[in-house]
Every structure is written in structure tokens, then in C-alpha cells.
């Protein structure tokens, strides 16, 4: 169980590397949070495992507790020191997705009433939008609603007679409609 923090950081660094290898060349500090929940030797063991794995690689491990504030000042001091030593020019990465391209394409979509109080919305553009929008976040959901409005999908649903509380299905997802 105590190896999990090490494995988590290795997994995060692997994702960074897959996204762009240059990210791993940037300075890192590990804020080993939640030290306030460990008892006895457990804290020391977790911190020792992290330090043994990452400090030889030049990654400092800073034990902290965001709840109690323990170690936070020291972490901020180290981050400030690191930032002062880091080059000032920004690192620019290529965009992964160009929303302008998606907005400029007029790919077809289908809006249909499949039964009383149930509507279906499909199309390649909608599927793409669902693929890169986090609907679990309020901002992501709001972004998706604006997309539906801007592209006339809500207007089509209203033309078909949608009412508050009706169900809209999109690629395995279901939402209740409210104006």
C-alpha cells in the first residue's frame, strides 16, 4: 500500500512524457500532502520511499499538510527559489485541438423525437464535442450547452416540441431538458 504514492507520481510523469517529453525536463517538486493523516512510522516510511525514488533524480520531496499548514511555508519557499532559477522565456506547446476548426465545419447532425418526451441528438460533430468536453464539471457542461445553442440544436429540439423534463439522448448519455 505504501508504494502507491511512488507509483502515482511515476504514472503522472509517464503521462507528461507521452504528452511532451520537454515537460519532464522542467524542474519539479513533490508536495507530499496529507502527512497529518499518517500515524507513527507510516509517515516516515512514505516520505522515505518518495525521497529514495525521486531525490536522486533531482526532484525534491516536501512533506506538507494542506489542512494544518505544516510544511506549506517551506514548500512555497522552495518553489519560489526554483522559479527564480528557472529560465524566463515561456515554453510553447502545439495545440492539441483547434476549436476554430470544429466550429467552422458544418458537419450534419440529427435531432429527432424517438418517443413521447424522448429525443435523440447525433452527428460526428456532436460526438467529437462530447469526446473532449468534461460534462462532470459545471464549466464543461455550460460549454456544451452553449455549443448546442450556437449550432441550432436546442432550436431544433424546441421545434420538435421538447418540454422541461423531457429526455435528450446523445451517444449513450441522457439529460433532462430545462430551458
Please choose, from the candidates 92, 98, 116, 75, the residue with its C-alpha nearest in 3D space to the C-alpha of residue 23.
92
| pLDDT interval class at 118 (50, 70, 90) | very high
At residue 3, the pLDDT reads: 62
The model's pTM: 0.51
| 107 or 160, which is more confident | 160
Q: What is the pLDDT of residue 132?
A: 77
* Stretch 82-88: mean pLDDT: 84
Mean pLDDT of 70-93: 86
Q: What is the mean pLDDT of residues 37-42?
A: 66
Cα separation, 119 vs 138, in Å, equals 23
Q: Which of 9-18, 36-45, 134-143 has the lowest mean pLDDT?
A: 36-45
For residue 98, the model assigns a pLDDT of 47
User: Looking at residues 152-156, what average pLDDT do you find?
Assistant: 90
Pairwise CA distance, residues 33 & 96, whole Å? 31
Task: Using DSSP, state whether 29 is helix, strand or coil.
Answer: strand
Model confidence over 103-114: pLDDT tens digits? Answer: 545 678 889 999
Strands (E), the chain: 29-32, 60-63, 110-115, 118-122, 167-170, 173-176
Q: Across 35-39, 90-94, 139-143, which has the greatest mean pLDDT?
A: 139-143
Q: Is the pLDDT of residue 86 over 90?
A: no
Nearest to 63 by CA among 30, 36, 32: 32
Crossing angle for the helix pair 138-150 and 124-132, to the nearest 10 degrees = 160
Amino acid at each position: 500500500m505504501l508504494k502507491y504514492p511512488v507509483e502515482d507520481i511515476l504514472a503522472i510523469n509517464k503521462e507528461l512524457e507521452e504528452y511532451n517529453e520537454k515537460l519532464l525536463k522542467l524542474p519539479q517538486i513533490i508536495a507530499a500532502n496529507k502527512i497529518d493523516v499518517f500515524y507513527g512510522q507510516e509517515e516516515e516510511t512514505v516520505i522515505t520511499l518518495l525521497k529514495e525514488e525521486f531525490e536522486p533524480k533531482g526532484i525534491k520531496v516536501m512533506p506538507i499538510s494542506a489542512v494544518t499548514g505544516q510544511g506549506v511555508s517551506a514548500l512555497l519557499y522552495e518553489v519560489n527559489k526554483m522559479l527564480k532559477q528557472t529560465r524566463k522565456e515561456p515554453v510553447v506547446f502545439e495545440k492539441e485541438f483547434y476549436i476554430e476548426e470544429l466550429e467552422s465545419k458544418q458537419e450534419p447532425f440529427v435531432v429527432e423525437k424517438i418517443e413521447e418526451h424522448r429525443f435523440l441528438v447525433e452527428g460526428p460533430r456532436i460526438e467529437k464535442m462530447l469526446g473532449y468536453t468534461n460534462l462532470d464539471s459545471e464549466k464543461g457542461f455550460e460549454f456544451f450547452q452553449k455549443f448546442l445553442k450556437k449550432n441550432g440544436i436546442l432550436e431544433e429540439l424546441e421545434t420538435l416540441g421538447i418540454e422541461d423534463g423531457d429526455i435528450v439522448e446523445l451517444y449513450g448519455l441522457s439529460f433532462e431538458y430545462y430551458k
